[in-house]
Amino acid sequence: MNTMRMSPEFATAFRARLVEHVNTTARPKRRRALLTGGITLTLVLGGTAAAAATGLIPLPGGTEVTELAETTSGTFTGIGALELGQRPAGATGVAVSLTCLTPGTFTFDDGASVTCGDGSDSAHPTTYVVPTEAVTGNQVSIVTGPDAVWTMTATWVLADTTEWAVNADGYTYGVINENGEPDLIAVLTADNQPGYVWRGDLYDANGTTAAESFTSPEDALRWQEANAGTVHYLPVYESDGTTQIGEFEVGGN
């Protein structure tokens, strides 16, 4: 293991208290990223510092993170654990930035995981907050295959969920979090621009609306079979819910 200081770019993002989450697993049949503020889902965000600089994070309802201790870093092959130092009073989680150096699946202490392929995306960090109740002692660990190589930077943090914002028409907008889903849900367009889709539109496209009428598992399977390969292109708006800026793709798997 090679211990090192974190990069200036990551330090800037951490100390700006900007950590945001991209949920790639909460709902099936979605290709473009759906942003989420929850700290119990794997987060995939290419370049935390870059995202902070563009104003992408934090979004209303997202997780605001305050660093409580010095950061530590390490490079590992296979299963490994990073020593964090004494847990500060008030810590609610460990903010982690994990970079896959080889393909593989990397599992955090709370069971969330990220899978890296052999493409360029593997070089992008996965930023995530592991809740303290999942952390054993004063270290955060990753479980992966024996030949997988990865680096991680982490520190103790206080993570607080922010409030959703309300637009001029009284509709809430922001990211999905443990409190539910706002009227306008944050997404990334096909060209990776941040915006919002109406919750009802997303529910119609991803099967949530249809599921209200299901009375058996067979109903769900029939719906999935009938909609297999179907792609829905939802309009993406600014926070006003009327100014369209792009499209969000749902389905196609």
Q: What is the DSSP string of 54-73?
A: HT-SS-TTSEEEEE-S--EE
- Smallest CA-to-CA distance from 204 within 27, 7, 23, 17 is with 27
The model carries a pTM of: 0.60
Tokens standing for 5?
């200081």
pLDDT for the residue 14: 35
SS3 239: coil
The C-alpha angle with vertex 251 and arms to 248 and 253, in degrees rounded to 5, equals 135
pLDDT for the residue 224: 77
- Which of the residues in the chain have pLDDT under 70? 1-58, 118-124, 252-253
pLDDT for the residue 215: 79
The C-alpha angle with vertex 112 and arms to 97 and 42, in degrees rounded to 5, equals 55
pLDDT for the residue 3: 28
* Residues 197, 189: Cα–Cα separation, whole Å: 10
pLDDT for the residue 178: 77
Mean pLDDT score of the chain:
75
pLDDT for the residue 124: 67
> pLDDT digits over 9-56, tens only?
333 333 333 233 223 323 333 334 454 443 322 233 323 322 332 333
* Residues 89, 136: Cα–Cα separation, whole Å: 16
